[in-house]
Structure 1
Amino acid sequence: MRYLLLLALSLLPLFAQAQDTGTKIVTAARKQVGVTLSYDPAYATLDYPGGDVPREKGVCTDVVIRALRDGLSLDLQKLVHEDMKANFSAYPRNWGLSKPDKNIDHRRVPNLQTYFKRSGYKLDVTKDATKFLPGDLVTCTVPPSLPHVMIVSDKKTAEGIPLVIHNIGGGAREEDVLFTYPLTGHYRWK
């Protein structure tokens, strides 16, 4: 019994760290609501590292990119680009590229899914609302076949379903759509 208590106490810092990471991601994502006002998937030449399209526009992936950059000081542009340079064959060939493109690769949901899986952030996909923690990243398919990514919020519906923060059109929003579209991935930053 004493061993179990010591084990539980030793895991508390890890649980607190995961909560803190999620809170930082959610806080940074929520700061985009009312700032990112439009959905604009246009290709743009970006600075590297640390490149971004203007904050008033972007796509679903830009919400994630900015939340990780602002909340955790992580540059998803650089992380994805470096992994793609070293492991290009592991990434989808959806766009007919023959080499990585630091301006767009991190802004494509299938590439993020590949990076998150390769990095060990992948969790089981489920419809159990209790399995989603604040700051989790969730991918889905918006009909007919558009890949999309969302950040799980710390706010929930009266039924206990977490809200998400995303840009699905019209800018960054926090809303109740976690289970609206077929889920294709669930990831937790460690």
Structure 2
Amino acid sequence: MKKLLSTLLFFLLIGIGFAQTTPEKLSEAAIKLTEQKVIYDPSYFSIAYPNGDVPADRGVCTDVIIRAYRELGVDLQKEVHEDMRANFSLYPSIWGLKHTDKNIDHRRVPNLMKFFERHGKVKPINQNAAYYLPGDVVCWNLGGATTHIGIVINKKSRDGKRFLIVHNIGAGQVIEDCLLDYRIIGHYTY
């Protein structure tokens, strides 16, 4: 009976998307995103909820993360919104907001960092590229209050010393060897 229940639970989790989130699949989803031409556009958009997205040809770094997880059946818009609504005081107050905004909250790096801290696994931050594996989410400080986010993928740099990153820092959704180019401030799996 226990085995039957375990099997049923496993298939239920697959059906609702949980068991589909593996580092390999996240890496593949991120790589697939680079086939789509996207213009860097930090504009505020009113979007559907749940499963809302900015126009397919627009986006910023957080949209890479959102779209990659969506490929695996995870709606970060919904997940972040519900967690922020229930735990608003735990999230950054950088923008002076008094309540959640399902159009933008999930598109802000500090909010994704807090969400991954709360619901994912926080991994060590260091300058050793060997610690950053495909499927990891990495956050950087670009200077001042400017933050950035990307996904480590299963492709290596030309010298073979580190995995590459899929991100959007202004040139669209691209693959680059930039892991150690900026100060790392977050390292997660989810």
Asked if TM exceeds 0.5, the reply is: yes
Change over 3 Å in CA distance of 1:36–1:145 after alignment to 2: farther
Q: Which amino acid aligns with 1:78?
A: K
* CA distance, structure 2, for counterparts of residue 130 and residue 147 of structure 1: 23
> Is residue 43 of structure 2 the alignment partner of residue 29 of structure 1?
no
Distance change (3 Å), C-alpha of 1:145 and 1:98: closer
CA contact (8 A) 2:167 2:175 kept: yes
Question: Quick one: percent identity of the two aligned structures?
Answer: 49
Name the aligned partner's letter for residue 179 of structure 1: L
1:90 and 2:78 are equivalent in the alignment: no
**Scaled by the length of structure 2, what TM-score is found?**
0.86
For 1:141 and 1:152, the matched residues in 2 are separated by 17
- RMSD in angstroms over aligned alpha carbons? 1.4
1:155 lines up with 2:152 in the alignment: no
User: Residues 46-82 of structure 1, C-alpha deviation per residue, up to 9 Å, x if partnerless?
Assistant: 1000000112110000000000010x20000000000
CA distance in 1, matches of 2:56, 2:34: 10
Counterpart contact for 1:36–1:58, Cα < 8 Å: no
The CA deviation at 1:144 is: 4.2
- TM-superposition CA deviations, 1:129-154 (whole Å, max 9, x none): 22111110000011343100010011
Equivalent residues, number: 170
Alignment map for 1:33-182 (pairs within 5 Å): 33-70=34-71, 72-157=72-157, 158-182=159-183
The one-letter amino acid paired with 2:68 is A
Q: Could you list the runs of 5+ residues in structure 1 that have no partner in the other structure?
A: 1-17
Contact (CA 8 Å) 2:140, 2:183: kept in 1 or not? Answer: yes
